[in-house]
Amino acid sequence: MVVGDFPIETDTIVIGAGPGGYVAAIRAAQLGQKVTIVEKGELGGVCLNVGCIPSKALITAGHRYETAKHSDDIGISAENVTVDFSKVQEWKGKVVKQLTGGVQGLLKGNKVDIVKGEAYFVDANTLRVMDENSAQTYTFKNAILATGSRPVEIPTFKYTKRVINSTGALNLPEIPKKLVIIGGGVIGVELGTAYANFGTEVTILEGSSELFAGSFEKQMSTLVSRNLKKKGAEIVTNAMAKGVDEKEDGVVVTYEVKGEEKSVEADYVLVTVGRRPNTDELGLEQVGIEMTDRGLVNIDKQCRTNVSNIYAIGDIVAGPQLAHKASYEGKIAAEAISGHPSEIDYLGIPAVVFSEPELATVGYDEKQAKEDGIEVVAAKFPFAANGRALALNSTDGFLKLVTRKEDGLVIGGQIAGTSASDMIAEIGLAIEAGMTAEDIAMTIHAHPTLGEITMEAAEVALGTPIHIVK
């Protein structure tokens, strides 16, 4: 092993180049800091390489295939629609490569030094970075931890060729005929939807009484369940996965529901029961960083740990494990290091599921508002009453705008429907800007667009709806 003779000095060192780390590094560099970013894997982290981006590409391909086969109701029929799954995977890889290459260009364009290797703390101002051939010491004024997370492995479902995690599911060599998914959360539902659209017989085993374990309102999750069942998927709730018998060409999964043990055969079993923070191999104990029992790093409102010059962001801190949350926190940390008064405020952070229909939520829902003692008006408008949704033949769903009763202040919103992932941004902006239902209602929305649904819901909140009867 070749060891660097002298430490390399930098102002800020960022560990992890995912959507939290690379954003933090760029913002820190923009603010005049000399920045080094360390990544042991690929630039872009889980999100760009084996998470958000490739999964959405796979979902898009599945949706295109399903639409091509089932558009008879609008007068379009296609015969012998086929899938070349190797080309689907090739296209997905091109999307990933374009984005990860873009991240590298952005880092270099902002004069961020990129270092490949594993980082380990020596003390609060010193880091060792090692790869297979060498080791180098770095000294720094500030550090940002952005090491992300990895899939949780169940002891009775050790990962193998046929027992796979989300990374394995994204890189299957063929479309499975049958797929069992343990966990009906976001990842399980998204990948289950993609493969169901390709024609796979999907079985989802969920431990709670509904999909998403209560993360979304029941009416929203029910829409997703109904659509998955239309695609032939079986959803088993209150199910406890017990074990797996792996064979050369498939698996037999046993599970228990209502005290009865059952089994299901499949080509693969996909385990999506959560993710574990990557905080166990950094040497954080060397610097006395405080963590929770789950391995999460404790931070203050500026993402600062109990060690004043070390910050933490993304999946390794409390809160939802979302790429855009990590990016947001990365900017806060970089700005805090530069002396800005930036602080985290999670109220305006949306959560999205790329299911069918898509689900999105931001801010308060009715239940949360009630628990916090806030009296609200929950104004709902259906997609079925919107011209653009009708023209898209996508009328499933609704938008609910949550406003404070006393003054009409927008404090939340939930959307179930096509393009919910894009539409939720307007409600997030309204929350961030302190807007009222009247502000949204008075904003002229182009016709015919899905965006009008937000305006219509605001008019419902004001008691003056135009396109539904009050």
Write out pLDDT tens, residues 164-209: 999 999 999 999 999 999 999 999 999 999 999 999 999 999 999 9
pLDDT for position 428 = 98
pLDDT in tens, 432-448: 999 999 999 999 999 99
Model confidence at 4: pLDDT above 80: no
User: 265-322: per-residue pLDDT in tens?
Assistant: 999 999 999 999 999 999 999 999 999 999 999 999 999 999 999 999 999 999 999 9
Residue 13 has pLDDT above 90, yes or no: yes
Average pLDDT, stretch 64-75?
95
**65 pLDDT more than 90:** yes
Percent of the chain residues topping a pLDDT of 90: 97
Catalytic residues: 447
Domain positions in the chain are 2-151+276-346, 163-273, 357-462
Q: Does domain 357-462 have CATH number 3.30.70.600?
A: no
CATH of domain 2-151+276-346: 3.50.50.60
pTM for the full predicted model? 0.95
pLDDT at 5 over 80: no
Same fold, 163-273 and 357-462: no
Domain 163-273, classified CATH 3.40.50.300, yes or no: no
Q: What is the pLDDT of residue 1?
A: 38
The predicted structure's pLDDT at residue 470: 80
Once rounded to an integer, what is the mean pLDDT over residues 420-429? 98
Q: For the chain, what is the mean pLDDT?
A: 96
Q: In this predicted structure, what is the pLDDT of residue 26?
A: 98
Helix axes 186-197, 218-230, angle to 10 degrees: 30
